[in-house]
Structure formats: C-alpha cells, structure tokens
C-alpha cells in the first residue's frame, strides 16, 4: 500500500469506521449480553456512578473524556483528536444502529470472542491517525514517549479497574472480564504491529555479491554488506544483511543456496522496520 495513502483522510475515515463497527458489535452482541464489565473510561464512569450515585455512567464518560481530549489536543495533535472524536461518535452511533445477534451460550467462548472482536476493532482504529478516545489517548501518549505497548496500557488500566470492582461484583464475572481484556489487549498489539514486522536475514557466503544481485533483480530488495572475518579460518568475507517480509523468505532461501550450497543463512524476527521501502514513521 502507498505509504502516503495511509495518511489520507479517506483511508483513515474508512479504517476508523470499520474498526468502530466491529468494536460496537463485540460490545453490544457479546459483552453486554453476558454481563461483562465495560472497560476503559466508560467502565470508570460506571464505578464512579456506583459510589457517588451522581449523574449517570454516560455523562461521567463524557466528563472524564474532556481532560483526556484536551491532553491529546496539546500533547499529540489536533488531527489526532479530531479523528478520535469521530471514532468515539461513530462507535456510539454504530452501537445504537447495528443489531447483529451472535448466539454464544458458553461464557468462556463468549469471553474469547468478545476479546478478539473488541481487540480487532480497537486495533484497526489505532492503526489510523486517531484513537477510540478515552484511555486510548493515554495509551498512545505513553507509546509515543516510552514505547509502552498500547495493549499493555489498556490491560493494566482495566486490571486496576476490575480489581476495584471486586467488592461490588461477582468474582466470576470479574475474572471473565479480566480474561476478556487480556485477549483484547493482546489482539490490539498484534493488529497494530501486523504490517511492521519483517525478517532480518544475514547471509555469510563467498558469493555474497552474486546473491545480492539476485535479491535486487528477483525480490526488488536491497541490502547492506558488512565486513566479517571467520573465527576459525581467519579469512575476510562479506556478510550480506537484508530485510524482507515473510512471503519472500522462502524465495530468498532458494536464491541463496542455489548460488552457494555452503552458505550460512541466519534469520531473525524484527518488531518493527521503518524507512525507505518499508513502513513510514507514524506521525499523528
């Protein structure tokens, strides 16, 4: 996908809309049906309402979001807040409009399904230049400043929230909700990093230059030559380093061993690759 396209308004509106619909269905058709505790700022609003009996959870949700959006406006960007506002509003509309029955009777299966669907929806929203509002704003700020995974922040906050709920809710329900948000947080991080993960390959061979030429011609990828020296032989030789996606790995393996059956072929997983030819650094 063209990297500039991912910064376009149509793409961001599309991915936020899709994610909001999936998230709304997961909440309305699964989570609330089984009585799972709502997480995030809405869950916090529900707790505040329970202890104070003032206003109502939806109004608390609105009031608690105000300082978070102000924080995002000044600390992240105006564009981020506008996309986040759209996501929050559309999620509310989708929740009211969409009625898709998902008949899951087993509570554990429902916990897993709600976690996967909710995490997928939230993850898609967070792949845009916005967020779902609420704790997502804090999670994005922590990720930008300290590289803390968005899903980890989401899980930590909700774990604390559910712990506070133990005194007023059934333990079984709290445990089910914790499992739900754990699955959701893991799914969120997986969706966010899905297209940034690549393979770093080190190729040690006497035919490194010829292998590189084949990589350039057949895979349309470049590489970097590193100077190496055999510990046993003491001979100098080039080490070719290249970065590819998962689909190209087997082709690269074929190219390498066709040229040199005695080559060393070392593969490492990467968490993220940014730069020319790969993902663009995300700027909100």
Q: Report helix, strand or coil for 15.
A: helix
Is 199-269 a domain of CATH 3.40.50.300? Answer: no
Summary mean pLDDT of the chain: 88
Q: What is the pLDDT of residues 142-166, one digit of tens each?
A: 998 888 989 899 999 999 988 888 8
Q: Is 149 left (phi over 0), alpha (psi -120 to 50) or beta?
A: beta
Residues 36, 114 contacting (CB under 8 angstroms): yes
Look up tokens 């997480």; give the residue.
Answer: 39
Structural contact between residues 14 and 88, judged by C-beta atoms closer than 8 angstroms: no
Parts of the chain belonging to CATH 3.30.70.120: 199-269
As a whole number of angstroms, the distance between CA 75 and CA 145 comes to 10
Each of the 284 residues of the chain gets a pLDDT tens digit; together they read 555 677 899 999 999 999 999 999 998 999 888 888 778 887 788 778 777 878 777 678 888 999 999 999 999 999 999 999 999 999 888 988 988 989 899 999 999 999 999 999 999 999 999 999 999 999 999 998 888 989 899 999 999 988 888 877 788 888 998 999 999 999 998 898 876 778 999 999 999 999 999 999 999 999 999 999 888 888 888 899 999 988 899 999 999 999 999 999 999 988 777 777 666 677 77
Q: How far is the CA of 276 from the CAs of 3, 87, 267, in angstroms?
A: 10, 30, 21
Query: Could you give the CA distance from residue 138 to residue 116 in angstroms, rounded to a whole number?
Result: 22
Q: Which of 279, 124, 273, 146 is nearest to 190 (CA)?
A: 124
pTM of the model: 0.82
Instruction: Report how far residue 117's alpha carbon sits from residue 30's, in angstroms, rounded to the nearest whole number.
Output: 9
Both tokens assigned to 235:
């001979």
Q: Could you tell me the two tokens for 77?
A: 């960007």
Closest CA to 195 of 249, 271, 83: 271
- Contact (Cβ atoms closer than 8 angstroms) between residue 241 and residue 224: yes
């Amino acid at each position: 996908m063209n990297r500039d396209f991912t910064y376009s308004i149509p793409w961001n509106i599309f991915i936020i809309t899709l994610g909001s619909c999936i998230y709304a269905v997961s909440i309305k058709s699964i989570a609330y049906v089984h009585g799972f505790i709502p997480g995030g700022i809405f869950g916090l609003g529900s707790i505040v309402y329970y202890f104070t009996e003032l206003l109502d959870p939806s109004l608390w949700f609105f009031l608690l979001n105000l300082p978070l959006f102000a924080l995002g406006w000044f600390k992240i960007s105006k564009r981020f807040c506008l996309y986040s506002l759209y996501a929050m509003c559309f999620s509310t509309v989708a929740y009211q409009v969409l009625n898709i029955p998902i008949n899951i009777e087993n509570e554990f299966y429902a916990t897993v399904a709600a976690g996967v669907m909710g995490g997928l929806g939230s993850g898609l929203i967070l792949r845009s230049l916005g967020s779902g509002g609420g704790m997502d704003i804090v999670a994005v700020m922590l990720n930008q400043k300290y590289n803390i995974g968005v899903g980890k922040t989401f899980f930590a906050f909700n774990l604390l929230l559910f712990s506070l709920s133990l005194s007023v809710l059934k333990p079984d329900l709290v445990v089910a909700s914790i499992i739900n948000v754990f699955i959701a947080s893991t799914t969120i991080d997986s969706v966010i990093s899905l297209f940034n993960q690549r393979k770093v390959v080190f190729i040690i061979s006497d035919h490194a230059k010829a292998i590189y030429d084949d990589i350039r011609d057949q895979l349309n990828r470049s590489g970097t030559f590193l100077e190496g020296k055999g510990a046993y032989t003491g001979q100098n030789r080039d080490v070719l380093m290249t970065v590819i996606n998962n689909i190209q790995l087997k082709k690269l393996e074929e190219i390498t061993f066709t040229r040199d059956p005695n080559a060393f072929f070392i593969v490492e997983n990467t968490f993220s690759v940014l730069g020319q030819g790969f993902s663009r650094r995300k700027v909100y």
